[in-house]
Amino acid sequence: MWQHMETLTASRHCRPIGWIALMVAGLLVGIGGCGGKTEAVFAGKTMGTTYHVKVVAGYFQRTAHLQQAIDARLAQVNASMSTYIKDSEISRFNAHRQTGAGFAASADFYFVMQEGQRIHELSGGAWDGTVDPLVNLWGFGRSGPVDKAPDQDRIDRVLEQVGFNHLRFAPDRRIFKDRPDIAVDLGSIAKGFGVDAVAKVLREAGFSRFIVEIGGEVMAAGLRPDDTAWKVGLNRPQAGAALDSVYKTVALRDQALATSGDYRQFFQQGGRRYSHLINPATGWPVDNGVVAVSIVADTCTLADGLATAVMVMGVTKGLALIDGLEGVEALIVEQGADGTLHDHYSKGFAVLLPQH
């Protein structure tokens, strides 16, 4: 819900919960005016979570039609990429077992899959949309929780089903598998795409100043009504931290932000903590000390995928990747053995922190 001082704590489905908090002035008033501008707020449910949109409009710009347009576009994205819908496009793709016949993909699905391929290559395989069988094996997927870690033989068998490199993309939007049992889960990138899709709806409707949030992923366009950058708060990445506990505040203008973390979804066995984030190279939960990664990029699709990739890569490799990408910044939070948090910034992230 919207909190005092216009702070929203958002939850991620199958991703970290409570890491992002939007801080947007005036959201509680719904519609208001400032210097000839009006503000409209829209909210709803999608992709197993919630969305919130705020639009800054000129006095004569109509916004009443936006709720229907936003809901319709999100319904399209969900029908394409939700593994919880039996006849969704991704469910049909996962059931497609003919290696010689390509799967005819929609424009949305094909685009997100290709973006996934790009992030997979950029990250050296750290992001991998085919890791879902491992997620289920470790008890963090649709199969439900487990009470102990799987043995290495089971992990090795499931690893044979993992690898985005088992997919090939044809120019006519067909996607080929070279293994019939390859299945994908786009949960670590689809919400980012949903944010971008809603942002496109708003831009095509003539709006250039808005903020879109889906389950904690954000796109901030233009400026706020007071002509300042949008402020987005990041929750404290510690188990047990209050959902409205702000750790850092980031100022955004025409930028997207997405985050990943491992501090809320895990189980413990024999004194060891097992995260829901699985390393696709080893088949084991990530255990590198990184508890949260926040990525700023031009698109939320890219930011979303990179946040997961950097969680897997760790501080040194993750920063090297981000510092080599134009227009991309990162905050990596590492937790020491004593529980203290240590921040690691990419070269340009500091300029996004508002000066008080």
Among residues 112, 125, 119, 102, the alpha carbon closest in space to that of 171 is found at 102
Look at residue 45 and give its three-state secondary structure.
Answer: strand
Please give the mean pLDDT across all residues of the chain: 86
Taking residues 176-186, report their average pLDDT: 94
**Is the Cα dihedral 72, 76, 79, 82 positive or negative?**
negative
- Residue 94 CA to residue 279 CA, distance in Å, equals 21
- For the cut 60, the answer to whether the pLDDT of residue 100 exceeds it is yes
What is the C-alpha R_g of the chain?
20
Q: Read off the DSSP letter of residue 151.
A: P
Specify the pLDDT at position 124.
97
Per-residue pLDDT reduced to its tens digit, 32-86: 445 567 889 999 999 989 999 999 998 778 898 999 999 999 999 999 999 989 9
Structural contact between residues 25 and 209, judged by C-beta atoms closer than 8 angstroms: no
- Residue 33 CA to residue 353 CA, distance in Å, equals 27
- Residue 20 CA to residue 10 CA, distance in Å, equals 6
Per-residue pLDDT reduced to its tens digit, 264-317: 565 556 667 667 789 999 999 988 999 999 999 999 999 999 999 999 999 999
Predicted confidence band at 138 (pLDDT cuts at 50, 70, 90)? confident
Taking residues 218-239, report their average pLDDT: 91
Strand ranges inside the chain, DSSP E:
2-3, 7-9, 20-23, 33-34, 37-46, 49-58, 103-104, 167-169, 174-177, 209-214, 217-221, 230-235, 246-252, 255-261, 266-269, 272-275, 290-297, 329-335, 341-345
- For the cut 70, the answer to whether the pLDDT of residue 336 exceeds it is yes
Predicted confidence band at 172 (pLDDT cuts at 50, 70, 90)? very high
Amino acid found at 207: F
Among residues 330, 324, 325, 321, the alpha carbon closest in space to that of 349 is found at 330
Of 339 and 95, more confident: 95
CA distances to 149, 267, 270, 328 from 274, rounded to whole Å, are 8, 5, 11, 29
Predicted confidence band at 22 (pLDDT cuts at 50, 70, 90)? very low
- Residue 239 CA to residue 341 CA, distance in Å, equals 12
- For the cut 90, the answer to whether the pLDDT of residue 161 exceeds it is yes
CATH number of 99-177: 1.10.3980.10
Specify the pLDDT at position 34.
53
Specify the pLDDT at position 277.
86
Percent above pLDDT 90 for the chain = 69
Main-chain phi, psi angles of 274, to 5 degrees: -115, 115
